[in-house]
């Protein structure tokens, strides 16, 4: 186990040791393991792909699925909780909004200044907390997606509130939770009401033309209810991934000694992003409801149970990813699994292009700074929804001029 592998192991172990131990045991027991009160735990990439593509025996809105929990909190228009023709039509209309041109403009509008400031601090040899930077980055993106008018005298407060709302919402889901409890639903309603107020203000402002997803959806004819569910899901889904995921990708590059290779071979950037998201999976687990008995690759799934697709487990399978726990920016990933961490089929994550573009922007900024990256200290998340670091202090030792 090298340094990068050791620290990734600690990221999971120290965050939620019981949940990690349970899922790791399931991985070692087999490709599919049934756990009472939890469901069918899937640790194989091929089986996971089959389940995600199978809309006859599995769905994302019945009791037991993540979509069922989302419906309790957000109502019917949230993508995650939709299936069939209505979902297909909504996804088609959204693809017109989420063009690569729009994503580039959105990220630039929200983050150009703080990325330049971050890069400037690194160039000056200053100590930087990457987690704090990524919190600012993701919170600005959240405000930009919604269309929040940020008071320049209270930027930090607004961004902190937005980050708190996003992380509180994701914390409501759990491995053994088939539905939201009364207290969970009360908290979810409070969060959604606060976010909805911001979205409504942006949606009804006919004089403003900005890069917000809210305004883009309104201009494409989406109703407020449609916009509300989609904007909240996209915003919440991206916040923790970028905040806690990108610092982990950076530590993988530094701990494995491959950051210099990436700087020397910038053509490896796309592979580095793919390899980063293979190990730092966008979702820990995706839930599907089993709506009809079926057999998949010799494994029986029973109606009324849940199927849990555990991305961290399946991305560590040696049969699909040789030397799977090793981070390797030159790894050629099977095309079937290259973007599997973002889902597959009808429910492929709408924000895939956004997440990849955000990762690319941050890595490009890091690669543009000459010198040796030093990790000065790191603190690990404890009991959070998304495993990662609560603090990651870095500095670049700049080469001395002759």
In tens, the pLDDT along 360-374 reads: 999 999 999 999 999
Nearest to 152 by CA among 135, 140, 167, 138: 140
Determine the average pLDDT of the residues in 166-177. Answer: 73
Q: Quick one: pLDDT at residue 346?
A: 77
Q: Quick one: pLDDT at residue 257?
A: 94
Q: Quick one: pLDDT at residue 400?
A: 59
The reply to whether 201 falls in a domain is yes
Q: Quick one: pLDDT at residue 17?
A: 95
With a CB cutoff of 8 Å and minimum separation 6, the contacts of 287 are 39, 60, 64, 65, 66, 306, 307, 308, 309
The reply to whether 34 falls in a domain is no
Write out the residue range of the structural domain in which residue 62 sits.
3-29+39-397
The reply to whether 107 falls in a domain is yes
With a CB cutoff of 8 Å and minimum separation 6, the contacts of 337 are 45, 49, 315, 320, 321
Render 208-258 in DSSP notation, one character per residue.
---S-HHHHHHHTT--HHHHHHHHHHHHHHHHHHHHHHHHHHHHHHHHTT-
The chain-wide mean pLDDT, for the chain, equals: 89
- Range name among 42-46, 144-148, 153-157, 378-382 with the lowest pLDDT average: 153-157
78 in Cβ contact with 236 (< 8 Å): no
The reply to whether 202 falls in a domain is yes
The reply to whether 258 falls in a domain is yes
Determine the average pLDDT of the residues in 178-207. Answer: 86
The model's confidence at residue 209, banded by pLDDT at 50, 70 and 90, is low
12 in Cβ contact with 325 (< 8 Å): no
The CATH number of the domain holding residue 54 is 1.10.630.10
The reply to whether 402 falls in a domain is no
CB-neighbour burial class of residue 289 (10 A; exposed 0-12, middle 13-18, buried 19+):
buried
pTM reported for the whole predicted model:
0.92
Confidence check: pLDDT of 313 > 80 = yes
The model's confidence at residue 40, banded by pLDDT at 50, 70 and 90, is very high
The reply to whether 263 falls in a domain is yes
In tens, the pLDDT along 56-107 reads: 999 887 776 667 777 777 776 666 666 677 777 878 888 888 888 999 999 9
The reply to whether 295 falls in a domain is yes
In tens, the pLDDT along 262-309 reads: 999 999 999 999 999 999 998 888 889 999 999 999 999 999 999 999
Distances (CA, A) of 399 to 253, 333, 365, 402: 19, 35, 18, 9
Q: Which letter, b or e, does each residue of 41-57 get, where b requires 16 or more Cβ atoms within 10 Å of its Cβ?
A: bbbbbbbbbbbbebbeb
Render 120-139 in DSSP notation, one character per residue.
HHHHTT--EEHHHHHHHHHH
Q: In the chain, how many domains are there?
A: 1
Q: Quick one: pLDDT at residue 172?
A: 75
In tens, the pLDDT along 340-360 reads: 999 888 778 878 899 999 999
Q: Quick one: pLDDT at residue 236?
A: 84
Distances (CA, A) of 163 to 44, 87, 142, 318: 33, 28, 8, 36
């Amino acid at each position: 186990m090298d340094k990068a592998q050791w620290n990734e192991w600690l990221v999971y172990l120290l965050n939620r040791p019981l949940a990690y131990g349970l899922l790791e045991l399931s991985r070692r027991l087999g490709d599919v393991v049934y756990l009472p009160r939890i469901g069918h735990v899937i640790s194989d990439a091929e089986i996971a792909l089959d389940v995600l593509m199978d809309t006859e025996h599995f769905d994302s809105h019945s009791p037991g699925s993540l979509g069922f929990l989302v419906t309790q909190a957000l109502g019917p228009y949230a993508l995650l909780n939709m299936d069939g023709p209505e979902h297909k039509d909504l996804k088609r209309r959204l693809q017109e909004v989420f063009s690569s041109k729009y994503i580039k403009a959105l990220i630039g509008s929200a983050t150009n200044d703080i990325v330049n400031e971050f890069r400037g601090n690194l160039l000056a040899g200053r100590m930087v907390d990457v987690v704090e930077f990524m919190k600012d980055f993701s919170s600005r993106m959240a405000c930009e997606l919604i269309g929040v008018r940020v008071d320049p005298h209270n930027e930090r407060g607004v961004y902190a509130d937005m980050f708190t709302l996003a992380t509180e919402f994701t914390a409501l889901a759990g491995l053994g939770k088939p539905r939201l409890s009364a207290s969970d639903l009360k908290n979810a309603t409070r969060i959604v009401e606060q976010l909805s107020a911001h979205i409504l203000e942006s949606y009804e402002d006919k004089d403003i033309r900005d890069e917000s997803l809210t305004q883009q959806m309104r201009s494409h004819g989406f109703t407020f209810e449609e916009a509300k569910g989609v904007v909240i899901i996209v915003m919440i889904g991206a916040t923790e991934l970028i905040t806690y995921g990108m610092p982990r990708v950076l530590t993988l590059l530094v701990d494995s000694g491959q950051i210099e290779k990436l700087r020397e071979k910038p053509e490896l950037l796309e592979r580095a992003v793919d390899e980063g998201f293979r190990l730092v999976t966008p979702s820990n687990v995706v839930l599907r409801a089993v709506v009809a008995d079926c057999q998949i690759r010799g494994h029986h799934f029973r109606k009324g149970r849940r199927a849990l697709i555990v991305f961290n487990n399946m991305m560590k399978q040696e049969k699909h990813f040789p030397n799977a726990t090793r981070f390797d920016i030159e790894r050629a990933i099977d095309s079937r699994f290259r973007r599997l961490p973002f889902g597959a089929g009808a429910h492929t994550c709408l924000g895939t292009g956004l997440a990849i573009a955000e990762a690319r922007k941050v890595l490009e900024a890091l690669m543009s700074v000459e010198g040796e990256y030093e990790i000065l200290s790191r603190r690990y998340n404890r009991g959070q929804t998304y495993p990662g670091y609560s603090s990651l202090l870095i500095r670049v030792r700049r080469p001395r001029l002759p």
